[in-house]
Amino acid sequence: MELTRRDAVSALTALGASVAVAGCSDAAPTAQQPDRDADVDADVDADTELRETMVAAAEVVYPDEVTGIDTFVNTFLDSRLAGDRHAASVADAVAAVNDRAKSWYDDRFAALDADTRDSVLREMGADTAEPHRDGSTAEEVRYYVVNELLLALYSSPTGGELVGIENPQGHAGGTDSYQRGPPT
Amino acid sequence: MSGRPPAEDIETSAGATDRTPVADADVCIVGAGPAGALVADRLADAGHEVVVLEAGPRFDFDDRLARQEKAIRPTYSRPEVWDSDPERDAHGNSGPWFYPLNHARARGVGGSTLHWQGMVMRLHEGDFNSKSERGVGTDWPIDYADLRPYYAAAEQELGVAGGDNPFAPPREEPRPMPAFPPSYSDSLFADACDELGIAMHPVPNARNSEVYDGRSQCVGYGTCQPVCPSGAKYDGTVHIESAEEKGATVIDRAAVQRLAHDADRITAATYATPDGEYRQEADAFVLAAGGVEIPRLLLLSESEQYPEGLANSSGAVGRFFMDHLFAGMGGTLDEPTRQNHVGFLTSESHQFYDDADAEFAPFKLEFFNYAGPSPVEMALTGDDWGNDLLDRLRDGYGTHIAMGGLVEQLPREDSYIGLDESTTDNHGNPVPDVHWNVGDRALRTIERANEIQRSILDELGVDIEWTAGPDSTGPAYHHMGTTRMGDDPADSVVDAECRTHDLDNCWIASSSVFPTGGAMNPTLTIAALALRVADAVDAAV
């Protein structure tokens, strides 16, 4: 089942709401910021690694039936990484995953095959850990990586449909589906 | 871009920029929940200088989608969704029945309507005459006819979607919006209820079935309780904003500490803010802080004149604390039931409500649309992911079905809100002590409701897996009775106009004035009484 942009972006436009893009006004380098180019390059690298790691994790924690993961995860992350606190915590958790992958398997997480990526997450204890924002490494990986991705999938229409609910909790799917019977 | 902003990035709203008192205020309202908001809106509209003091913060509407994440992720407790503060909201629990107070309330501009379910029924006529018609409890000093026009006005103000109910009291006009159509799950119940001769009818919802008053129609987020990101579910912020547009001043994080007074009038409310402590004077005061904080404030405001607490010559302040009791039952069917698409109910039954007498309390029955687990919440717990998780979700979701119901409890002197002198809040004041107790009539009635629920579920062929019966019931989070209304100053706190017997310039707008509770969700009655209080205050100041 293919994930689409509709899955990643909540239907806020139906509400007439607008969401501002945070932190753009000072994004351009200026003469007063001579090191800005280097900083931006580093940020881009970090962002790229974060995103490829999250996509690689999604390929493990999402069921095989799901396709279109790369675009879905990246679109979802656009709204999740726009602020400061959450983005920093996701980055820390992703760094912990990559550190563990490099220590035990000599490569970054995204470069490992899927079975090994699954092993990394389990060996870190992210499968059995309680999700906590400020906990052990395993608990934070569970919260910021595993549950972050599962929240994205199973509150989306496609994730819901996998389970048999077109309008899962968290998705503004309207008031028709609750009236309908099961597909025949 | 749009999407899902993280819960973690919610910023505390700055709220009011000036928390100093309002000069020459006509009316000071304590509490910015639905009652305080409606009174403020009406009085501001009438041209009065109104100030509202709210202990909690003002929440940013644009954060609601992020708060929804708190509602879904198991990491967050329910009180955390609306930023409950453990020190500010500390409380005792000395009664024989545990009461989870901070699951039962939200503190801030909008009050508990921020997290409420949004069901809005009128009390039945018999509820106003429990003693004379049912032989138990006490009679209200007003009748349904006294409140009827205010019920109609309240339905317009809140925006109610509803349809015909053959058991409801008489009404003069339809509700302002059409009812939400019944659910597929309702259709499963309908055959069983037909077979048993039990009538189903629509639930009146303070939730927009179409665009209303500039607010969105329901878009089906499914997290009504505890947060509606679309604003389709009514909450008190609607009338707070309206009141402000009409000139009212609303000061958040302004926790009223004491009510200064002389023998027969309140002279000022002293309140603590992040910027310091202030004193708000006014000609009239309206207490609208709910059934726990109102009696607490009155008890804290004791004086030589009122040694047992302000406005407490009767000794009834804090006494007769009531809630509604939940009766429920559920299980699974061998077919899809289509639950959890929305977070509200579409069908109920009041068929047995007016059978109430001394032996059995009034009760209503509810047909759930959100029985069993929500897949996304399931997905965030457990030790699995990938295909194993999907298999577990498919096994766990899809065939649950359930019923609920609310049961009246009678007022009892040994069920009360007091002060827990052993614990203080963030301002050094003793915290409220919830001493909740429930009598046999309510417990018998829960069994009766369970019998009917079992008959319906058996008829439907449900494999019953759980029951919320007399031994496992809980409160519906409706705080009532603690400043009861009555004609006799010796045994009640406020009169039929909701003005305190002791103080000429103090009114109470809250379910705390309910002498009995019936078994209907109380907010529509709170709203109707608030509009009535507004008329009384308008005439007096």
> What are A92-133's pLDDT values in tens digits?
999 999 999 999 999 999 999 999 999 999 999 999 999 999
How much is the ipTM here? 0.95
**A84: containing domain:** 36-167
CATH topology of domain B172-202+326-407+440-474: Cholesterol Oxidase; domain 2 (3.30.410)
Cβ-contact B268, B260 below 8 angstroms: yes
**Chain A residue whose CA is closest to B217:** A15
**Residue in A15, A75, A160 nearest the CB of B219:** A15
Work out how many CB contacts closer than 8 A connect A with B.
208
What's the pLDDT tens digit per position in B411-441? Answer: 999 999 999 999 999 999 999 999 999 999 9
- Asked if B73 and A79 come within 8 Å (Cβ–Cβ), the reply is no
CA distance B371 to B116: 18
Q: What average pLDDT is seen over chain B?
A: 97
* A73 interaction partners in chain B (CB closer than 8 Å): none
- Single out the catalytic residue among B48, B324, B400, B478: B478
Q: How far apart are CA B163 and CA B263, in angstroms?
A: 49
Q: Could A89 and B8 be called an inter-chain contact, meaning their C-beta atoms sit closer than 8 Å?
A: yes
- Looking at the complex, report in whole angstroms how far the Cα of residue A164 sits from the nearest Cα belonging to chain B: 7
CB–CB contact A163 B220 (8 Å): no
A163: nearest CB among B3, B68, B393:
B393
Contacts of A181 in chain B (CB under 8 A): 184, 187, 336, 338
pLDDT surpasses 90 at A1: no
Dist CA B509 CA B530 (whole Å): 5
Q: Residue B147 corresponds to which tokens in the numbers above?
A: 């409140």
B115: annotated active-site residue: no
CATH number assigned to the domain covering B23-162+227-324+412-436+478-541: 3.50.50.60
Tokens of B338: 């289509």
Contact list, A160 vs chain B (CB under 8 Å): 375-376
Tell me the sheet residues that pair with B366: B348, B404
pLDDT exceeds 80 at position A32:
no
pLDDT tens profile B324-357: 999 999 999 999 999 999 999 999 999 999 999 9
CA distance B329 to B469: 8
CA distances to A77, B131, B406 from B478, rounded to whole Å, are 40, 21, 11
Among A141, A146, A165, A171, pick the best mutation site for testing chain B contact (most B Cβ within 10 A).
A165
Q: What total of structural domains would you count in chain A?
A: 1
Pick the residue from chain B with its C-alpha nearest to A10: B3
Chain A hits for B375, CB-CB cut-off 8 Å, are: 154, 159-160, 163, 165, 168-169
| Residues B376, A14: C-beta atoms closer than 8 Å | no
Flag whether A5 is in a domain.
no
Q: What is the pLDDT of residues B350-377, one digit of tens each?
A: 999 999 999 999 999 999 999 999 999 9
Chain A neighbors of B214, CB-CB under 8 A = none
